[in-house]
Amino acid sequence: MSEATVTAPAGASRAGGSAPAPARSRRSWLKPLLLVALLVVLLALPLYVEEFWLRTGFAVFGAIVGAIGLNLLVGNSGQLSLAHAFFLAVGAVSYTYISGEEGGLGVAELGGLGLPPIVGMIVGVLLAGLAGLIFSPLAARLRGIYLGVASLALVFIGIHVLNSWTEVTGGFNGRAAPNFELFGFAFANRDPELYVLGVPFREAERLWYLGLVLALAAYLFARNLLRGRPGRALQTQRDSEVAASVMGVNVQGYKARIFLVSSMYAGLAGVMYALSIGSIAPESFGLELSILYLAMIVLGGLGSVNGAVLGAIFVSALPLVFQRYADLIPFVGDRGSGGLAAGEAARFLFGAAIVVVILFEPAGLAGIARRITGRFRRPGGSVTQRPPESHGPTSEPTPSDPPAQGSTT
């Protein structure tokens, strides 16, 4: 065999290996560039859109925080929980009481500590985490539907406490949530008055930036958590607790910690919910709220942080948009007009979307996004396909598609 016949395949292999380098280089800077562009758009949005979209955006940011927390527990740890509404209530009520003032509402005498709102937010998050930590030993002993039923009891207990503990919660009538302040700067319409490029920055604009910062921090923390050792341990125990124990994972300890983290996320989402609505009421934290959060993570994609974000946007924004444009959407109208109410129409759409996702795309909206981006990343499949091994003429290419469930992105 001549030298030319020996070196030709090697040269061809080098050429084949180096050809995708420019494509990989383009992908390496394209994604950060798109993320920066998205962040710039979100920062500039209050200058151009009306108050409705800003308030809707703040509600969406709060839902994103809560959905990420629930997805960490259900999607990445495998613990079914229907108690998310309870932990949201703990955060919202704690913030309202700690930062609220004493006073009266009708026949009810309301208490309050009058502490700075940032203290109320922090304490609300910590108390929600403490409640999750207290419940975690029971959660560690139960699995599947039994854990779901046990967590459901917390929602009914929470509703009873909210209705009966009038001094703290306001009872059936609820109570107003205090405006948020940070270092003397009020996230309200006035005090101080603020203008940016001639645009008045009132409560809606200020809350938009507050929600953006909190949602971004929650997103980055969850991504870093799942990329590290805790994330691998959680996914291992979700797939098989026996295998996780054999590999040295402290299953009970990780179950308790993830319940703590998930509950703290819910507590922060509860504070943001109270700021978004401007008040708290017992009926706002019922079983329906827990089901809505489950719908968010199922539609978005279990185990995916990006999926939790997409699902939260879809589920939380859709009823508000339907209500805003009820006169333009077929079969949707105000009560008494003969059409479906905005909330009812949104629930029908949620149900249909969940059925479609379960049947055709178990990875949810995140899986659809991966399929779309994968087509641009793998033109013709030539970029991700490995060159054949020199010693094995029958070697098969390694599958490049990620699993449908359990993704950490």
Query: Tens digit of pLDDT for each residue in 114-168?
Result: 899 999 999 999 999 999 999 988 887 888 888 888 889 899 999 999 999 988 9
Q: What is the pLDDT of residues 11-24, one digit of tens each?
A: 444 444 444 555 55
Q: Is residue 122 included in any domain, yes or no?
A: yes
* Predicted local confidence at residue 139, as pLDDT: 80
- Cβ–Cβ under 8 Å, residues 72 and 227: no
Write down the mean pLDDT value for the chain. Answer: 80
Instruction: Walk along the chain (409 residues) and give the pLDDT tens digit of each residue.
Output: 444 444 444 444 444 444 455 555 556 677 788 888 888 999 988 888 888 999 999 999 999 999 999 999 998 888 888 999 999 999 999 999 999 888 765 556 788 888 999 999 999 999 999 999 999 888 878 888 888 888 898 999 999 999 999 889 988 888 899 999 888 888 877 766 777 777 778 888 899 999 999 999 999 999 999 998 888 888 888 878 888 888 888 888 888 899 999 999 999 999 999 999 999 998 889 999 999 999 999 998 888 899 999 999 999 988 888 888 777 777 676 655 566 777 777 778 878 888 888 788 778 788 887 777 766 555 544 444 444 444 444 444 444 444 444 444 4
Query: Which residues partner with 186 through β-bridges?
Result: 181
Q: What pLDDT, on a 0 to 100 scale, did the predictor assign at position 20?
A: 52
Using alpha carbons, select from 51, 272, 275, 108 the residue that is nearest to residue 176: 275
Buried b (16+ CB within 10 A) or exposed e, 171-205: beebbbbbbbeeeeebbeeeeeeeeeeeeebbbbb
The answer to whether residue 334 is domain-embedded is: no
> What residues make up the domain containing 237?
47-285
306 domain-assigned: no
For the chain, the domain total comes to 1
Whether 69 is covered by a domain: the verdict is: yes
End-to-end, the C-alpha distance of the chain in Å comes to: 50
Q: Is the pTM of this model over 0.85?
A: no
- Whether residue 131 is contained in a domain is answered as yes
CA distances from 394 to 144, 152, 389, 397 (A): 43, 54, 9, 10
pLDDT of 108: 66
Residue 147 in any domain: the answer is yes
Rounded (to 5) percent helix, strand, coil in the chain: 70, 5, 25
Ramachandran region, residue 268 (left: φ > 0; alpha: ψ -120 to 50; beta: rest): alpha
Residue 100 lies in a domain: yes
Check residue 10 and give its pLDDT: 46
